[in-house]
A = this chain, B = another copy of it.
Amino acid sequence: MTDACILIVDDEPAIRDMVAVALEVAGFKCLRAENARTAYTLIIDEQPDLILLDWMMPETSGIELLRRLRRDELTSEVPVILLTAKAEEDNLVQGLDAGADDYVAKPFSPRELIARVRALLRRRDLGRQEEPIRVQRLMYDPVSHYVSIDGVPAAMGPTEFRLLGFFLTHQDRVYSRDQILNHVWGGNVYMDERTVDVHIRRLRKALGDHDKLVQTVRGAGYRFSEKLVGN
């Protein structure tokens, strides 16, 4: 979330830079494009997490690009915020109907923009597993953000919680330290693989007598499974 990548599409360099700088200060990574063609290439290649799209641009307009994105399954999910000049506000419905997730009218305050960006990124993170998962006497409830064993709360840090969540939704399969790093820590972080070992250890401790669910596969990685206790 902190290092989400945001594409800014606007034909005016001044606005492009202003927005980019504001977002970078707020901790986001930014890509810039000055027209729809460049933007499209970047979207395909870099798969940004969110797009800030100017409505009025020479050649292909923002709306056209937006429609194109929504049509293609590969790009139809990425959140888009439209940047519109005051005069265009009437057409807002058109923009939202084309598939924009939100809009910001120029001139806008960086604070507001960042707030909306954050809101959209957060929403992207929602809409996933909602039901509690039970394994043996272990209960994992993503809604209340809570894990218990025999009804007794199991204390663990946020990373262990995410790690457990990952395992519960990917059972009976070996994952290398590197894969676990990518899935649980999210994004392309380069970190010491041994860090995974440490958090595995912490997770096991938190799981008490269910620690056997997290299995070491020598030379390969880790596996979460009720079965396959041998090997």
Q: Which A residues are closer than 8 A to B by beta carbons?
A: 32-35, 37-38, 41-42, 44-45, 71-73, 93, 96-97, 99, 101-102, 111-112, 115-116, 118-119, 122-123, 130, 143-147, 152-158, 172-174, 176, 178, 190-191, 217-220, 223, 225, 228-231
User: What is the CA–CA distance of A115 and B181 in the complex, to the nearest angstrom?
Assistant: 12
User: What is the CA–CA distance of A116 and B153 in the complex, to the nearest angstrom?
Assistant: 39
Q: Is the CB of B111 within 8 A of A231?
A: no
Q: Is the CB of B156 within 8 A of A93?
A: no
Q: Is the CB of B38 within 8 A of A99?
A: yes
Contact of A230 among B34, B96, B155 (CB under 8 A): B155
User: What is the CA–CA distance of A228 and B229 in the complex, to the nearest angstrom?
Assistant: 31
Q: Is the CB of A99 within 8 A of B37?
A: yes
Chain B contacts of A97 at CB under 8 A? 32-35, 38
What's the nearest-Cβ distance from chain B to residue A20, in Å?
10
Name 11 interchain pairs, CB-CB below 8 A, sorted by A.
Answer: A33-B96, A33-B97, A35-B97, A37-B99, A41-B101, A45-B102, A115-B191, A143-B174, A144-B172, A153-B231, A155-B230
Given contacts A44-B123, A130-B71, contact A146 B231 (CB under 8 A): yes
Chain B contacts of A231 at CB under 8 A? 145-147, 153-156
What's the nearest-Cβ distance from chain B to residue A52, in Å?
16
Chain B contacts of A96 at CB under 8 A? 33, 38, 41-42
Q: In chain B, what residue has the closest Cβ to A221?
A: B145
Contact of A144 among B71, B155, B225 (CB under 8 A): B225
What's the nearest-Cβ distance from chain B to residue A114, in Å?
9
Q: Is the CB of A153 within 8 A of B220?
A: no
Q: Is the CB of A178 within 8 A of B223?
A: no
